[in-house]
Amino acid sequence: MRFLITAGPTREPIDPVRYISNRSSGKMGYAIAEAALDFGHDVILISGPVNLSPPRNTKFISVSTSDEMFEAVHRHADESDVCVLCAAVADYKPVQVSTIKVKKRADGISMELVPTRDILQSLGRQRARKFLLVGFAAETDHLEANATKKLLEKNCDIIVANDARVGMESDENELLILFRDGETKKISRAPKKFLARELVKIFLKFATKKFDKKDVMITERT
Ligand code: C5P
């Protein structure tokens, strides 16, 4: 099978030296990429800036902004069987990016922000989607309710939800996996490398079943 995986944060520039970003380490996405490779699959890893070395044998695409990630994902999604969007894409970006460093002032400043394009949702809205679509949800409250909302709004097949306070920047995580047919599965706290292997097995099992109303069947290629 061919996996497309996004990982890490994005950086939304304010000026040549400043940006908006978040604390995502990329560890979960990189661990999923490694697990998929270990199981013998092809992997395209599209990563924001992180302090990790890309696993060998991946097609590695390094991006910085949400727009770059959007373009890279759309360029490769249709040649994939499983798209796992694990990246912590920034939700907002500045309307204007200054070409020179914004000077410090004695009074406050305000900045106009606009929402970034939602990559996961844009794939979920594709009419003739043939790949399995997996999203992630890092929440600090009402985990199941918020993740269920995302599953429906972004029209994905699986949402992997976790408590951001446990998983962010950490080597461990605990997961609640929600499937589009209403099924749920919990995996208790464990190293991300272990969780990644369990997730890849779950994705593959799901991808080999019929997963949408159009009777699209994804079968394992030999
Ligand atoms: O809405 P929220 O950011 O919590 O959704 C998380 C999921 O959506 C993740 O799978 C993330 O990779 C994806 N996402 C995206 N593009 C965005 C924001 C989130 O693909 N602009």
What would the DSSP string read from start to end of 34-45?
HHHHHTT-EEEE
- Pocket perturbation via mutation, ligand 1, pick of 6, 89, 203 by most ligand atoms within 8 A of CB: 89
Residue 106 C-alpha to ligand 1 middle, in angstroms? 36
The whole-angstrom separation of Cα 180 and Cα 184 is 9
User: pLDDT tens digits, residue range 98-144?
Assistant: 999 999 999 999 999 999 999 999 999 998 899 999 999 999 899 99
The whole-angstrom separation of Cα 176 and Cα 168 is 15
In this predicted structure, the answer to whether residue 22 has a pLDDT above a threshold of 90 is yes
Place of tokens 């699986």: 158
pLDDT of residue 168: 77
pLDDT of residue 216: 52
User: pLDDT tens digits, residue range 50-100?
Assistant: 999 999 999 999 999 999 999 999 999 999 999 999 999 999 999 999 999
Residue 105 C-alpha to ligand 1 middle, in angstroms? 34
Ligand 1: which residue has its CA nearest to atom 4?
A: 137
- Pocket perturbation via mutation, ligand 1, pick of 47, 67, 85 by most ligand atoms within 8 A of CB: 85
The single-letter DSSP state of residue 55 is P
- Report CA-CA distances (Å) from 30 to 22, 27, 106, 134, 211: 17, 5, 43, 15, 26
One-letter identity of residue 85: L
Average pLDDT for the chain: 92
Q: Which is the closest atom of ligand 1 to the Cα of 156?
A: 10
Could you tell me the maximum CA-CA distance found in the chain, to the nearest angstrom?
Answer: 65
With beta carbons less than 8 A apart as the criterion, state whether 62 and 52 touch.
no
User: pLDDT tens digits, residue range 29-45?
Assistant: 999 999 999 999 999 99
Q: Which of 22, 57, 146, 155 is catalytic?
A: 22
Q: Which residues line ligand 1 (CB under 6 A)?
A: 6, 66, 85, 87, 89, 91, 116-120, 135-137, 150
In this predicted structure, the answer to whether residue 220 has a pLDDT above a threshold of 50 is no
**pTM, rounded to two decimals:** 0.92
Ligand 1: which residue has its CA nearest to atom 6?
A: 137
Dig out the tokens for 98 from the structure: 């200054």
- The helix/strand/coil state of 62 is strand
The whole-angstrom separation of Cα 198 and Cα 194 is 7
Residue 222 C-alpha to ligand 1 middle, in angstroms? 32
3-state helix, strand, coil in the chain (%, to 5): 30, 30, 40
Task: Say whether 22 is catalytic.
Answer: yes
pLDDT of residue 208: 83
Q: Report the percentage of the chain scoring pLDDT > 90.
A: 85
